[in-house]
Amino acid sequence: MERMVATKTLKTVPKISVKIWRPIIEKLDQKIETACLRRDAYLAKVLETELDWLDQEVSIPNSKASYDYVFERLDQLDRKLVSLALPPELTQHLNEICARKRIVRDAFFNRVFLLLAASPKVVDTLLFDDNASRWRTEVWSENKHDGPFFQNGFYPLEPMIDPFWAVRCGLQMFADDSSLEDYVEPSMGQTIRLQMSLAGEPMPADSLYTTIFEQKVMGHDLHGLSCFFPDWRIPNHDAAKAHKLKLDEILGDLKAMP
């Protein structure tokens, strides 16, 4: 009698390659190892939440000039090639968002990895500026009976992985909603809420993915970690020159006031 030999086909998860700034990936890998987590599996759970936020918060597509500028700034950093095993549906969703909003995909990964790896003090400095000393207290006071940490107490084997919920809540609490107005985004034809710059250019509301990191680290600016970057912030761009002229005109009018 022939012996039946059972064979088992292992399901492999496709890998994608990204280049991450070395200080970021080294710090993140250290924290992941300390927490006894599997990095790629954890990242997949994070992306399940964050991709929808990315699409929502970057409400205005970047221009081609903005994409090229962010790509060039990111390329100035010493980056390490990293392979990530992610479910193909997540990768496809991310690629679709990045194409539609003209987001540099590696800029998104570097930004997410930085915020996951950074110390609380660094997060405070990057995102909260004048509110750095009090945003955590106010978020706790407002949400002490809510949020993923509370839900995970009810479902310990099915935890909600939403690492930026408190940061996002803090940004929303300190946002000036009175400065937002309705705007019809021409490429999508959708009405969205946004703010205007001092010179009248449309800008997405301040959020986790639209706040520009103004600080410098080890002599490098962090513009290469931007998911949204306005043309008027690009050095020597025509929009930057027009923005300066408009501000000079506004300031000139102020000086002329009696």
Break the chain into its structural domains and give their ranges: 15-147+161-238
As a whole number, the mean pLDDT across the chain is: 85
Is the pLDDT at 76 greater than 90? The verdict is yes
Can you tell me whether residue 206 is helix, strand or coil?
coil
At a CB cut-off of 8 Å and minimum separation 6, what does 178 contact?
A: none
Q: What confidence category does residue 147 fall into, taking pLDDT thresholds of 50, 70 and 90?
A: low
pLDDT at 4: 45
Tokens read off for 250: 């506004």
Write down the pTM of the prediction.
Answer: 0.84
pLDDT at 66: 98
Tokens read off for 87: 């479910």
The three-state (H, E, C) secondary structure of the chain, written as one string: CCCCCCCCCCCCCCEEEEEEEHHHHHHHHHHHHHCCCCHHHHHHHHHHHHHHHHHHHCCCCCCHHHHHHHHHHHCCCCEEEEEEECCHHHHHHHHHHHHHHCCCHHHHHHHHHHHHHCCHHHHHHHHCHHHCCCHHHHHHHHHCCCCHHHHHHHCCCCCCCCCCHHHHHHHHHHCCHHHCEEEEECCCCEEEEEEECCCCCEEECCCCCCCCCCCEECCEECHHHCCCCCHHHCCCCHHHHHHHHHHHHHHHHHHHCC
Check: CB of residue 229 under 8 Å from CB of residue 62.
Answer: yes
Check: CB of residue 135 under 8 Å from CB of residue 173.
Answer: yes
pLDDT tens by residue, 110-142: 999 999 999 988 998 899 877 767 888 888 777
Instruction: Give the integer Cα–Cα distance in Å for 215 and 212.
Output: 9
**What integer is the mean pLDDT of 50-63?**
95
- Strands 202-204, 216-217: pairing is unpaired
Is the pLDDT at 105 greater than 50? The verdict is yes
Instruction: Give the integer Cα–Cα distance in Å for 9 and 22.
Output: 36
pLDDT at 77: 97
pLDDT at 65: 97
Amino acid letter at 17?
S
Alpha carbons within 13 angstroms on the beta-carbon side of residue 239 total 13
Closest CA to 167 of 223, 228, 120, 110: 120
Instruction: Give the integer Cα–Cα distance in Å for 10 and 137.
Output: 48
Instruction: Considering only residues 90 and 159, tell me which one the structure prediction assigns the higher pLDDT.
Output: 90
pLDDT tens by residue, 149-202: 555 544 444 555 788 988 898 888 877 776 778 777 777 777 777 888 877 788
pLDDT tens by residue, 11-47: 677 899 999 999 999 999 999 999 888 999 999 999 9
pLDDT at 8: 45
